Structure 1
């Protein structure tokens, strides 16, 4: 009598390899599984038939993989629909002024753009440094202690000597500590939303000057 142990072992191995293949669709997995199973049953040794527990285990595996692939496809469709819906809803922000993470502040006619910060927790010391294009500090603003939340930064467009700075682009950085440890503040800028777009990270708001931010990071809308 022809032995079938190698057939059974090969078929089981083939099924496991198929189950591990991420490129196979749920339908392909089912078709391949059924073909392998029929081959396995046809060639099994009558004196040593396929164990019921092994068959049950294989059926459970194909059912699980098929179900997961179907669920993943459904979730992907739902996420796509949610993303499209959020993009449409976010279109209402066009033309509105928002406060988002950023470090660029422009001075026009001696008037600086509005800036702010977000503190995740209360800080006993908050300092803001405004820097020119060469990285030199032109103004240091001591905001002292601040509670957690979003705060505006009052800068009059002057340097530490009280002289108005030249028009142009500046950057600023925020330092905030509590008991000597940083509370990880977030620098914020205001800008008018020019357009809405999207990428792999989600829906983005464009506030001009090459500055974009995820709509989830909008701290304030005016």
Structure 2
């Protein structure tokens, strides 16, 4: 009598899991593949050592779990797409508004500087804003008194440390803030007019008039 090898439960489960991870097979395809494997297994089982009911029940439970997981993943993906589309539509109301987002660029035109700010994760007893020219040289240092946690506006009058109005152009700035000598990790902020709404793998993006973009989640203030 020719002997045949059993296809045990663990191997069947592994084959199914491999199919799920290595392809885009649907839940229906997985069920059909499993049933084909099960029928083949039962047809080729050793009559003297047949598959017991517990083994069959275990395999049926495994395919049900795998199928349910894939169906849930498909549903969640669909829901996330709908939420993302809804957020993009909702964010369209920002077009034409001015928002405050992370950034480090400040412009001066006719002696007037654009608005800037800082986001303090926690209260700070020392906040220093340094404005730098295109060569990286500090032209103005602004020392602020103790500030509470949250978004704070920073006023720069467009002058250097000597009190003279700086030349028109684009400058950069950086912020340092400490509490009892410990860095509180401040975030430099800039204002920008929203001109467009778009999206990528990171989420919904706002396009600003200065040509930069920011994630809508990073908007700190809306004017």
Question: Could you state the TM-score of these two structures normalised by the residue count of structure 2?
Answer: 0.94
Q: Distance in 2 between matches of 1:44 and 1:85?
A: 54
Please report how far the alpha carbon of residue 14 of structure 1 lies from its aligned counterpart in structure 2 after TM superposition: 4.9
1:127 counterpart residue number? 128
**CA 1:14–1:57 in 2, change beyond 3 Å: closer, same or farther?**
closer
The equivalent residue for 2:7 is 8
Superposed structure 1 runs of 4+ greater than 6 Å apart? none
Name structure 1 gaps, 5 residues minimum.
none
Structural mapping, 1:63-82, within 5 Å: 63-82=64-83
For residues 172 and 55 of structure 1, the distance between their equivalents in structure 2, rounded to whole angstroms, comes to 68
Compute the displacement of 1:54 (Å).
2.3
What are the ranges of 5 or more consecutive residues in structure 2 without an aligned counterpart? none
Give the conservation status (yes or no) of the 8 Å contact 2:6–2:45: yes
Q: Aligned partners of 2:37 and 2:213: how far apart in 1?
A: 53
Per-residue deviation, 1:51? 2.8
Contact 2:6–2:46 (8 Å) recurs in 1 = no
Distance 1:126 1:197 in 2: 35
Aligned partners of 2:13 and 2:62 also within 8 Å: no
RMSD of Structure 2 on Structure 1 (CA)? 1.4
Whether the 8 Å CA contact 1:19–1:29 is kept in 2: the answer is no
Taking structure 1 as the reference length, the TM-score comes to 0.94
Contact 2:197–2:204, Cα closer than 8 Å, also in 1: yes
- Aligned pair 1:145/2:143, yes or no? no
- Residues of 1 paired with 2:10 and 2:142: CA distance? 71
Query: Residue 123 of structure 1: SS of its match in structure 2?
Result: coil
Count residues with an aligned counterpart: 220
Q: 1:15·1:36 contact (CA, 8 Å) conserved in 2?
A: no
Q: Deviations over 1:22-48 (max 9, x none)?
A: 113222211110000001111111221
Report the 3-state secondary structure (helix = DSSP H, G, I; strand = E; otherwise coil) of the residue aligned with 2:64.
Answer: helix
> Shift of residue 56 of structure 1?
2.1
> Given that residues 192 and 210 in structure 2 are in contact (C-alpha distance below 8 angstroms), is that contact kept between their aligned partners in structure 1?
no
Residue 41 of structure 2 corresponds to which residue in structure 1? 40
